[in-house]
Amino acid sequence: MAEKSGPRRRAPTAAETERIRKAIAEESRPEVMAANRAMGQRLLAQKQQAATAAAEVQAQLLAEKERQQLSLSELQERAGIGRSNLSRLWNQTDPKVTLETVDRIAAAQHSKLRVTLESTP
């Protein structure tokens, strides 16, 4: 049986090999490594902050749905969003819902979505 072979890769040129070597050396410097770690921590903190904000919106939408005693079917009809998508919003920790969808659900609940952007020090 013949072996499958993928596309052949050409060998890097001497100049490319030298650029790769220099890039690896640069990335290995302690101050560069520390800066990369700090950037990673900032990005993780931003991701956690966004997840917290999304969870708050999710909880507010669910609380309003329950306050109005709306069923998923009623909300589906009002918002024009599928029942499975609404169910996913309430039951998943990260439903990856768009602002447009959140706005449609809020409008269906006779609520208004307000988004605020604040500068951080």
User: What's the pLDDT score for residue 77?
Assistant: 94
Q: Give CATH for domain 15-108.
A: 1.10.260
Q: Name the packing angle between helices 99-108 and 30-67 (round to 10°).
A: 20
Which pLDDT tens digits describe the chain residue by residue (121 residues)? 556 667 888 999 999 999 999 999 998 899 989 999 999 999 999 888 888 888 888 889 999 999 999 998 999 999 999 988 888 888 887 778 888 999 999 999 999 988 888 887 7
pTM above 0.85, yes or no: no
Q: Delimit the domains of the chain by residue range.
A: 15-108
For 9-43, b/e burial (b = at least 16 CB within 10 A) is: eeeeeeeeeeeeeeeeeeeeeeeeeeeeeeeeeee
* 97: number of Cβ within 10 Å: 19
Closest CA to 91 of 113, 68, 72, 69: 72
Share of the chain above pLDDT 70, in %: 95
User: What's the pLDDT score for residue 1?
Assistant: 54
User: What's the pLDDT score for residue 3?
Assistant: 61
User: What's the pLDDT score for residue 55?
Assistant: 84
